[in-house]
Amino acid sequence: MKNIIILVMCLLISCSVYRPLTEPSMKDEPVVAKTLLKKEFDELKPPLGGAITVAVYSFADKTGQRKPSNTTTNFSTAVTQGAESYIIKSLQDVGKGRWFRVTERVGLDNLIKERQMIRQMRESYEGKNARELPPMALAGIIIEGGIIDYNTNTLTGGIGVRYFGIGPNTQYQQDLVVVSLRAISVSTGEVLATVTVEKNLLSTGENVTAFKFFDVSTQAFEFDGGLTFNEPGNYAIRSAIEAAVVELIKQGANKGIWKFKED
């Protein structure tokens, strides 16, 4: 009878631990999509005079950090190496797509080769009077920056309680990623505006333990169960980049680089 009671108690405690962690992981949409920042990102007023043409050449990982590992050497990087995809997407989407026109510069070599092939094929079939390709779009502003810092274990802690050897405990860890973004004038080379944004990454672990002696301390029952949730780094980097784009637009408006269109 005692065995059954202990087993039921362990199952009840473990269910209470697992439920809050497993439900959020079943959602398709990342948490960042529902924040106030996302609302501000979408509802920025458009610029006066129409969208601004900008170029992004790279948005590199400048941290030099590797993924932490307690057992083996890990050569995987702590942050993504393709963050330029996030910055291009953010520039295209901010203010419902009314703020920036982004020209292709990350794959510029491939673009130039393709244009040369088209030109050569047209000349081969149409001769000297072959149609010319339209000129490529030129940007007045270059968007530069990168992921400049990544710190692990900036905050750690935990809490737990046991009653007669049975009880749950929780542990958490906080990491920090830092993103920098700046707008540079193509005509003068002047840095028009620059922003730095920090974003926390949270990891939590919850487990339940039961340890009980019975039959005059001649037998023992022990149970351990747990679940760990790590916030995906790509969500944190994406939300930090979106925040940097919003702050860059606001800073540019305050400095008179561009103006918001009034309703």
Strands 100-104 and 52-56: parallel
84-97 and 36-43 helices cross at what angle (nearest 10)? 70
Q: How many other β-carbons are positioned within 10 Å of the β-carbon of residue 135?
A: 6
Which residues make beta-bridge pairs with 202?
Answer: 174
Higher pLDDT: 94 or 69? It is 94
Distances (CA, A) of 132 to 105, 110, 201, 251: 21, 19, 51, 40
In the predicted structure, residue 55 carries a pLDDT above the cut 60: yes
Q: How many residues does the chain have?
A: 263
Phi and psi of 262, rounded to 5°?
A: -80, 150
Cβ atoms 13, 100 nearer than 8 A: no
Give the tokens for residue 158: 């935990």
pTM: 0.72
Predicted pLDDT at 17:
43
- Domains of the chain, earliest start first: 2-107+139-254 (3.40.50.10610)
Is the Cβ–Cβ distance between 122 and 130 less than 8 Å? Answer: yes
User: Is the pLDDT at 170 greater than 80, yes or no?
Assistant: yes
Region 183-187 average pLDDT: 94
Q: Between 255 and 210, where is the model more confident?
A: 255
Exposed, middle or buried, 204 (CB in 10 Å: 0-12/13-18/19+)?
A: middle
Please tell me the distance from the alpha carbon of residue 60 to that of residue 81, in angstroms, as a whole number: 7
Maximum separation of any 2 CA atoms in the chain, in Å: 102
Residues 40-52 pLDDT 10s: 888 889 999 899 9
pLDDT above 80 for 31: no
CB 58 within 8 A of CB 146: yes
Place of tokens 């697992």: 18
Distance linking the first and last C-alpha atoms of the chain = 74
